[in-house]
Structure 1
Amino acid sequence: MKNKYWGGVIALLILAFVNVQCDSSVRFIGDTLEEGFKSPPKGANPGVYWYFMDGNLSKEGITKDLESMVQVGISHAIFLEVNAGVPRGKVDMLSPEWMDIFKHMVSESERLGVRLSIATGPGWAGTGGPWVDVEESMQHLVASTVVVNASDISGVILPKPVARKRFYGDFVFTPEQRKDWENFYEDVAVLAFPTPEGDETIVDTDEKALYGRHPFSSMFGVKQFLPTSASYPEAEGSVVNPADMIDLTSRLRADGSIEGTLPEGRWTIMRFGVRNTGAVTSPAPAPGLGFETDKMDTTAISHHLNNFVGEIFRYAGFQKRTSRSPYGGLAMLHFDSWEMGSQNWTSKFREEFKQRRKYDPQPFYPAYTGVIVGSRELTERFLWDLRKTIQELILENHLGYIRQYAHEYGLGLSIEPYDMTPVADLELAAAADVPMCEFWRAGFGFNTTFSLMEATSVAHLKGQPVVPAESFTALNDGWDLYPGQLKNQTDWALASGVNRMMFHTFVHQCFPDSVKPGMTMGGIGVQWNRNQTWWEMSKAYHDYLSRSQFLLQQGRTVSDILYFCPEGNPHVFKAPVSAYNKPDSAYDVLYIHANTTFEKRSASENQDVNILPDKRGYAFDACPPSLLYKATVKDGRIIFPSGAEYSILVLPNWETMTPDILKKIKELVIGGATVVGMPPKKSPSLQNYPQCDNEIKALVKDIWGEGEMPITVGKRMVGKGQIIWGQDLIKNQDNLYPDYDCTASILSDMNIPEDFTSNGALRYTHRTVAEYDIYFVSNRSGKKIQTDCIFRVDNKIPELWDAVTGEIRDLKSFSTKDGQTIVPMQFDIDQSFFVVFRKKGEPSSGKSNFSSFTTVLTLDKPWSVSFDPSKGGRRKGCI
């Protein structure tokens, strides 16, 4: 959002600096932007994942860790204590000694100006612990089935349904927890219906009923989304008619027997009950091992938070972060990886479902097991409603409650909203004050590049200035990685929208300094801690990041395309592959698309996931359904309250859509928006069926008209706006959306040129604040480049801001054409610059923008090199 300040700007900036709690960024304009770039504030500094290994803590080590962070320009740390295969220490989590150490940590972080985030539970995933009773843990609806031929069913025994297989079966229970998992059971319903002919079922029911959600990033074959359809094949054989279903719940006895009679015929009787999912905190320190809380119940999460972070805060004397708090200290609650599977039941689920979907789910309980009720289409619609209700309850009653709890303490909530989640990733991101993402060191693990697009999109839409990333996560890096190796990937992340690197990982060094290399997290993480040989030299790299991140936290990102994410969950958003630059085969680093054996697959098999995906000339964001409702239109552009704006809205090629969201799309088009995409055919929901489908037909007629689909691409004016559709959008489909070149052609026809182009292999991102246009441009080619860079800016003088040195100077040679500025530039290998436009000025063909270098000294003689014995050095010789 463009900020405008008047008198007293400096005082206002200082006040903003103090008051910001959730994002710890500072917005500058005018001369203060230069000052912030040259000497960035702490809010622009990078951070670390600060991992503590189960009971291995010391006050002395904490002080030295924090002091070493500050020494090299690190100002943020996420505190997590885990069990990662390292021998246990002597300080039990939440013991009095542990509490005293934590209080020391908070005090020292306040003294040194390091902002702390604390996880919402033990380990790095979820919310749970030994204080979570099994009744308030994650639950599944389970069933047992008996088929009878007699009308008299008195004495028929219905077996108690058994628990489902645990999602993570290798995580250990305590004996008491295993007993609770095995014994916990509550009856829900007993339903009888005429046994259908044949054994046809709904396929993939475990996914559709959310019994489990596996990691999309690391397990082969996991679906990106669960598709819906406007037409389902008729079931072969008979199906269960809800009207024929008889509720026998009141006839169930304690021993599992039932009494009474049924009409003559063959009957299927299903006993439904609730079991614990078996999800436990992971990988938690031993004293934090316990059940994961029910993710759909506010009472459960309230009890957990009170027993975990609430207890910690009480001991530490922390009451609330205020505008008078020092920069450092507690600032954020952090919900990290979702690694506890999913659930599909909670104690008041039937009541919640009725209220939200306006019909009773009980006749459809057999659909949990794949039984077709009513018809295949009706059953699929119910399962869609089931997942939607689960998503709403998780977002409102779990994440929403945690966010409210954090705010009561003056804290923010950050969330890593991707992978394994039973909700749509973008909707989970929208629940955070600070959405985070993660990327692995190229070649050292999983591919999670899609998470950057998800987190940055939601941050842009909501106007959240900071997008942190769990950065350079690695497996078995062997202490070999160093900042110089990471520069290319660093710039890729910055250009992708990340503006706070959180290095994974800085492991707490609890041992004396004589113990080298010290504590590690097993083979997990790049070694980013004070025992690294290059640690004291890393400040230059962190300074480069701070200057870059400072500029990239200003104003708003400029994007032209808004991709609408379809309704439904779970859903991983992926942009069209064609919207990214093709890799430079000589340099772009391939990711390992890892499965359980980390097998490397060919580039052709993974062309959309194995490169560093750099956007082409039209930048884009993705929009979840919940945020589209906040959009309006002004002068033909789609505008959000944050100030984010887009030229076109692109719909997925998706056969279903709810009437509510289609009404919103109609409103945008009538208001002047350009919408690209095909019409839906039906609603995916059973809510208000079949009237919902009639509403869809009427809305489609209003927007797309009654004519035939254009053979190529056609336009139809609707109110002040236009709908663009046609067969070419389907023929060239790419990850649900039209091919990028098709979308780019539409923008070009609207007289909107690409935001940035060049002849060389460069990456970019563009932000605007007040009168400034700020471009970040980086060389991704692996070789030196001289090229013309074309920026979508006119009548302004380009300036070069070098984040390595802090130097600012005019680029004196440039020209303009058709509203664009052409600047001759040159880049060394992996070099990057900011090109800033702020001052009015005319084109100039003066001196070269870059100096020629001459050789000062050639190092052509041997010299001695030695290695510090205190850090494992043993060799001495010549090079």
Structure 2
Amino acid sequence: MNTIISRIQPLTVVCFMLYTTFFFGQHNDEKSALKEDFKNPPSTSAPGVYWYFMDGNLSREEMTKDLESMKEVGISNLIFLEVGIGVPRGPIDFMSAEWQELYVHAVREAERLGIKILLGAGPGWCGSGGPWVTPEESMKHLVYSETEVKGNKKIKIKLPIPEQRSTQWHNLKDPYYEDVAVYAIPNSVKPTIKDINEKALYERDPYSSKPNVKPFLPDPTGGSNVDGGKILDHGDVINITSFMEPNGKLVWQAPKGDWTIIRMGKRVTGASTRPSPEPVIGLESNKMDSVAFKNHLANYTDILLEKTAPRKEDSGWTGFHMDSWESGAQNWTEGIVEEFIKRRGYDPEPYFLTYTGRTVKSTEITERFLWDLRQTCKELVLENHVEFAKKYAHRNGLELTIEPYDMNPAGDLDLGAIADVIMAEFWSKRFGYVTWYAVLEATSIAHITGRPIVGAEVFTSSNEQAWQEYPWSMKDQSDWALALGVNRFIYHTFAHKPLGDEYRPGMTMGQYGVHWDRGQTWWPMVEAYHKYINRSSHMMQQGQAVSDILYLTPEGAPMVFTPPTDALEENGAIPDKKKYGFDGCSPKMLMDRALVENGKIVFPGASSYEIMVLPNFESMTPALLHKIASLVEQGAKIIGSPPHKSPSLTDYPECDDQVKTMAEKLWGKLQPPATRQKVKYGNGTIYWGGQLNNMETGELYPTFKNTLEILSELNVPIDFSSENNTIRFGHRKTKNRDIYFVANRTDHFQSEKCTFRAQGTPELWLPTTGETRKITDYSLKDGSTVIPLEFFPYESFFITFSKNNTNQTNTRNNNGNFERLTPVKTLQGSWLVSFDPKNGGPENIVFNELQDWTSHENRGVKYYSGIASYKKTFELEGVDDKKYFIDLGKVNDIARVKLNGKDLGVVWCAPWRIEVSGALQEGANELEIEVANRWINRLLGDQQAPDANVRKVKFNNGLLGGKEFTTGRYTFTTKAAMRSFKFKKPLLSGLLGPVQLIKN
């Protein structure tokens, strides 16, 4: 080597040395910076909360205390919303002068504290409306009434005004009505189209909470979708609009026969601000009309923007938030005919009668028109509502965040892709709806668009009113979300506490939410859990997500992405990905951004994919098929069958000929082969036939198992696996590092051999503490790294692989993540325990041994909720240079450890231990352990004599309507929060131990 180097010119040596120093120095700098951030994570990845206000119950002083309490526990952002749910109205009307001043106060205080505020797009949580929205500028339906008449005579009849088409979700009545057209059709033609309310966008029920809601509508060319009956031809329809007088009276010479007169007009959908503060209940603004949206904002955010100017850029009011889509669907707006003609290329008026459920010309023609109608409405929503919102936000220095589910008629992926920060929502796995699909959608959008942040409204709940959740109970689901790619947690919900600290747990958001607020018993200790989420989120924001499979959704709207049933591990409300990562992609996203590089489908600045799976639809527009053909020609690999037709009437019937010609060229033929085949086209490959053609099963995609077989044939190794399939994973990749998040999915200790599709220097990073350590016990196999790992219940790590040394084949037997610890001392005997008398507990009491509070004979201990302090002095003869830990054994529910006056931190999860090396000393050691339980015990105690109904509570400042409440001795909360309180006995509480001093 020396001989070789001596022959290199001096300048070359210098350049080589500079390059080496630069490359590895840059790598080491990056590594060092990330490690420092891991120890002390930045606020950009810190969690946030929904800060909910209850219908006029606001307090300036308590708003400041709310914000300060958030800052103290590591919350860096919030979403500001006000609703009317389950509590009496307060004295401050939404958007009154006093309310506006309080909002300005919140912004200024957030600026002072470095907290970001995102304001919702309207009152309530689910839309953009208010009493200032006129019926003319609200969401509309094309509605109709029907009147049967006999012909061969002059008809003089007043036609009934069509009724408003409200749903159980939207029923705000309004007399507004304007005529559109009047038709006469043969009485023999009856409504026959199945699911017309969905297909004509009269209804879009919540996919998450109402059974049998379709994630997507059937292929419009996929067969009969009518229940018999005569088909209406254009020649059968007589337009008699000109024969109706302004008062609705029809004067018309009817031809011979039996006729049905259909009067069609526009009315409001009934969608309203919900659940809204009472003063601002009103109609939702038109989601297809930017002028209507602009006028709504002029009465709302424009006023507040002026009041809060000037604003800081990095704190205070920084965002504009559109929460879960709950406004439902609309199928009419001003100028829709002209927009339809411009976008679809033909006049929709001859097909208006399909709105009534009747078949026009043919079943397939009717279904295609309805597909075109939904597509046109989707485009108008995206352009005139969501894109407009983004431009508006940016013009005012705000970012746009969007939750694109739940009644969205425009397609979740396309609507969410417009956001600066996409958000999901998931409910507590024990207390709410199953919405894992929304997480898959949001992470897919971020992975495809390359946006580093995936926000989520987390742990929403509908009956968690017994204050049952706490950090440890939520760790499993937290890790599930992190593994899927959520990296900004926004807890639902921090209800504003206008009643102050004297009244706890205090005001809640009716019966909703996980009570993530300063009224919680364990709030002073929650920062440790927040820091875990902060560290983990920061790591999951690095680089790009690694996914191998891209699922293309069908064209059309509405559209909810769900993968094949077998693509997820069954795990109740929190199913996990297995072996490979995957994402969903809309046709629009594919056509706008997808390229091919080195045989992979690539989204510039975002993720890349080994293979794309097409949906089992027989229709596809020529534009989408052309894009797919181009990708395959450039080297892409796809799974799927050829389309036969277009779903649209645009350029019909020539569009079908285009699709058929392109499909035959790409696949070679249209009929699927009996066995799976591989077709080469250009530089790419198509896999189809055999078991891949499973349209008869009703599945949208081929099974995940069949896709895995193809990936195996392509020599794409499994991304991650664990020997006993008990470990979930997420994978990110930077220029110099692979980052895996791995977590035990069980509540048992697990010893697993884990296989990672990565090479390099492996390290284990502990998100609970910020520590990092080298892993030396590993081996390489077929390009992957095998590492034996041990996990406590629900324990999680990051495993990183640095690229600076990929030739290492070290197999030394030294476990990298699990420190072998030996007992030093079990702390037996009595403890001095101090409870807070304000919560009914004894100020000082001796426990002769550790015990559950609920088994104690003292009622103040048995029903205690809050923080209690355990104190004990123990002797230690000698201290060596080993690491020492206090192991708490069993804790209900969270604990802070102090030794010799030094606060060592909070223990909130397994293995329920904390390092004490820096505070431990020879001789006497003063140990203090503060333990917090949940509110259930004291709430239960306050429902029983002698503590039940002993207080009268009334707020003379107008809070809670100034009403008087009878309540228990120590607790007070709003009555709606107690409706589902079903507990008959208190929960296990306190430090149960055994408490041990251990060392490695």
- TM-score, normalised to structure 1's length? 0.90
Aligned match of 2:280: 288
Aligned match of 1:376: 363
> In the TM superposition, what is the alpha-carbon distance from 1:876 to its structure 2 partner?
3.3
1:782 and 2:757 matched: no
- What SS is found at the alignment partner of 2:406? coil
Change (3 A) 1:707 1:511: closer
1:80 and 2:81 matched: yes
Residues 430-476 of structure 1, C-alpha deviations (whole Å, 9 max, x = no match) = 12111111111111011111100001100111111111111111123
Structure 1 unpaired stretches of 5+: 13-27, 584-609
Change (3 A) 1:60 1:371: same
1:762 and 2:727 matched: yes
Change (3 A) 1:146 1:875: same
Distance in 2 separating the partners of 1:814 and 1:236: 67
Letter paired with 1:628:
L
1:491 and 2:458 matched: no
Residues 832-875 of structure 1, C-alpha deviations (whole Å, 9 max, x = no match) = 10011113151212222232111233355454545423245462
Cα RMSD, aligned residues only: 2.3
Change (3 A) 1:707 1:291: closer
1:347 and 2:337 matched: no
Aligned match of 1:313: 305
Say whether the 8 Å CA contact 1:754–1:792 is kept in structure 2: yes
The structure with the largest alpha-carbon Rg is 2
- What SS is found at the alignment partner of 1:716? strand
Change (3 A) 1:508 1:36: same
Say whether the 8 Å CA contact 1:533–1:871 is kept in structure 2: no
Query: Which of 861, 881, 894 is the aligned partner of 1:876?
Result: 861
- What SS is found at the alignment partner of 1:855? strand
- TM-score, normalised to structure 2's length? 0.79
- What SS is found at the alignment partner of 1:436? strand
Change (3 A) 1:355 1:151: farther
Aligned match of 1:622: 584
Residues 370-413 of structure 1, C-alpha deviations (whole Å, 9 max, x = no match) = 11111111111111111111111111111111111101011111
Say whether the 8 Å CA contact 2:644–2:659 is kept in structure 1: yes
Distance in 1 separating the partners of 2:677 and 2:721: 28
Aligned match of 1:805: 769
Query: Which of 695, 718, 743 is the aligned partner of 2:707?
Result: 743
1:632 and 2:598 matched: no
- What SS is found at the alignment partner of 2:250? coil
Distance in 2 separating the partners of 1:697 and 1:784: 57
Aligned match of 1:702: 665
> In the TM superposition, what is the alpha-carbon distance from 1:312 to its structure 2 partner?
1.2
> In the TM superposition, what is the alpha-carbon distance from 1:157 to its structure 2 partner?
3.1
- What SS is found at the alignment partner of 2:474? helix
> In the TM superposition, what is the alpha-carbon distance from 1:204 to its structure 2 partner?
1.3
Residues 328-367 of structure 1, C-alpha deviations (whole Å, 9 max, x = no match) = 2111111112222211111111111111111111111111
Say whether the 8 Å CA contact 2:92–2:98 is kept in structure 1: yes
Aligned match of 2:873: none
1:302 and 2:294 matched: yes
Distance in 2 separating the partners of 1:6 and 1:188: 74
> In the TM superposition, what is the alpha-carbon distance from 1:786 to its structure 2 partner?
1.4
- What SS is found at the alignment partner of 1:668? helix
Residues 2-61 of structure 1, C-alpha deviations (whole Å, 9 max, x = no match) = xxx99999xx9xxxxxxxxxxxxxxx9342111211111110100001101111111211
1:201 and 2:192 matched: yes
Letter paired with 1:848:
N
Say whether the 8 Å CA contact 2:155–2:254 is kept in structure 1: no
- What SS is found at the alignment partner of 1:845? coil
Query: Which of 814, 817, 824 is the aligned partner of 2:788?
Result: 824
Distance in 2 separating the partners of 1:457 and 1:643: 11
Say whether the 8 Å CA contact 1:414–1:436 is kept in structure 2: yes
Say whether the 8 Å CA contact 2:220–2:371 is kept in structure 1: no
Letter paired with 2:801:
F
Distance in 1 separating the partners of 2:481 and 2:222: 41
Letter paired with 1:723:
I
Letter paired with 2:860:
R
Letter paired with 1:208:
K
Letter paired with 2:192:
T
Aligned match of 1:330: 317
> In the TM superposition, what is the alpha-carbon distance from 1:143 to its structure 2 partner?
1.0
1:442 and 2:404 matched: no
> In the TM superposition, what is the alpha-carbon distance from 1:161 to its structure 2 partner?
1.5
- What SS is found at the alignment partner of 2:253? coil
Aligned match of 2:620: 657
Question: More displaced, 667-676 or 156-165?
Answer: 156-165
Letter paired with 2:97:
P
Letter paired with 1:688:
D
Distance in 2 separating the partners of 1:546 and 1:611: 24
- What SS is found at the alignment partner of 2:709? helix
Say whether the 8 Å CA contact 2:634–2:682 is kept in structure 1: yes
Structure 2 unpaired stretches of 5+: 1-18, 842-858, 863-989, 993-1000
- What SS is found at the alignment partner of 2:69? helix
> In the TM superposition, what is the alpha-carbon distance from 1:577 to its structure 2 partner?
2.1
Aligned match of 1:16: none
Change (3 A) 1:488 1:358: same
Letter paired with 2:523:
W
Aligned match of 2:508: 520
> In the TM superposition, what is the alpha-carbon distance from 1:729 to its structure 2 partner?
1.1
- What SS is found at the alignment partner of 1:105? helix
Aligned match of 1:247: 239
Distance in 2 separating the partners of 1:86 and 1:872: 27
- What SS is found at the alignment partner of 2:530? helix
- What SS is found at the alignment partner of 2:158? coil
Aligned match of 2:633: 670
Aligned match of 2:223: 232
How many residue pairs get matched? 817
Aligned match of 1:143: 144
1:59 and 2:60 matched: yes
Letter paired with 1:384:
W
Say whether the 8 Å CA contact 1:293–1:300 is kept in structure 2: yes
Letter paired with 1:726:
G
Residue pairs, 1:595-614, within 5 angstroms:
610-614=572-576
More strand by share: 2
- What SS is found at the alignment partner of 1:876? helix
Change (3 A) 1:488 1:678: same
Aligned match of 2:344: 357
- What SS is found at the alignment partner of 1:372? coil
Query: Which of 545, 550, 563 is the aligned partner of 2:551?
Result: 563
Distance in 2 separating the partners of 1:401 and 1:200: 37
- What SS is found at the alignment partner of 1:258? strand
- What SS is found at the alignment partner of 2:822? coil
Say whether the 8 Å CA contact 2:194–2:227 is kept in structure 1: no
Letter paired with 2:542:
Q
Query: Which of 498, 512, 515 is the aligned partner of 1:510?
Result: 498
Distance in 2 separating the partners of 1:859 and 1:187: 83
Change (3 A) 1:288 1:872: farther
Distance in 1 separating the partners of 2:675 and 2:549: 21
Aligned match of 2:942: none
Change (3 A) 1:102 1:666: same
Aligned match of 2:674: 711
Distance in 1 separating the partners of 2:835 and 2:820: 36
Residue pairs, 1:384-403, within 5 angstroms:
384-403=371-390
Aligned match of 2:102: 101
Change (3 A) 1:285 1:872: farther
- What SS is found at the alignment partner of 1:813? coil
Distance in 2 separating the partners of 1:578 and 1:231: 25
Change (3 A) 1:628 1:829: same
Change (3 A) 1:863 1:674: same
Say whether the 8 Å CA contact 1:353–1:389 is kept in structure 2: yes
